[in-house]
Amino acid sequence: MATVKGCNIPDDLYYNVENNVWARREADGTVTLGMTAYAAALAGQIVSCTPKKVGRSVEQNKSAATVESGKWVGPVKAPVAGEVIAVNAALASTPATINADPYGSGGMVRLKPANWDADSAGLVTGAAVAAAFEAKMNAEGFAGCA
């Protein structure tokens, strides 16, 4: 796992760095997605998470969920297109899980990807992850995760 400015950034996931979101390809071909530790730190304590409903189609770089914190309300943009097949219902009652475990129990939505190979080609993974997020954090003047 890479750590950049105190933020955990697992290098086995796929990232849309610009949108601060990640995707994990599951064994069955579905894709779980959520926001990065960096995004959670920027947002502050998450107080609400509203995912798209099961059965809805989500376009790449369009909202798969909406999150709200004390200082921000905004979309969690899907790094790949697909159909929502499951949502993390536990986040409705405990949205702060996103802050505590953004890559595990803070995952928000599971998609059946429309075209994983094409959509994932533009995502960052592996050794390139740390440098990509470090450049973004530096450009945005981010001090670091707590």
Chain-centroid distance of CA 30 in Å reads 15
The CA distance from 34 to 102, in Å, is: 7
Q: What is the pLDDT of residue 35?
A: 97
| R_g (Cα) of the chain, nearest Å | 14
Q: Which residues pair with 84 in a beta bridge?
A: 111
Phi, psi of 86 (to 5 degrees): -160, 150
What pLDDT does 62 receive? 98
Mean pLDDT of successive 10-residue stretches along the chain, which has 146 residues: 95 97 98 97 96 98 97 95 98 97 98 98 96 97 92
Question: Where do runs of H (alpha helix) occur along 50-115?
Answer: 90-93, 97-100
CATH code of domain 2-140: 2.40.50.100
Query: In the prediction, which pLDDT does 146 show?
Result: 77
C-beta separation of 21 from 35 below 8 A: yes
Residue 91's Cα: distance from chain center in Å? Answer: 14
**Confidence (pTM):** 0.96
Strands 63-69 and 46-51: antiparallel
- Rounded alpha-carbon distances, angstroms, from residue 99 to 24, 57, 72, 74, 87: 18, 26, 14, 15, 17
Per DSSP, the three-state class of 117 is helix
Domain boundaries, the chain: 2-140
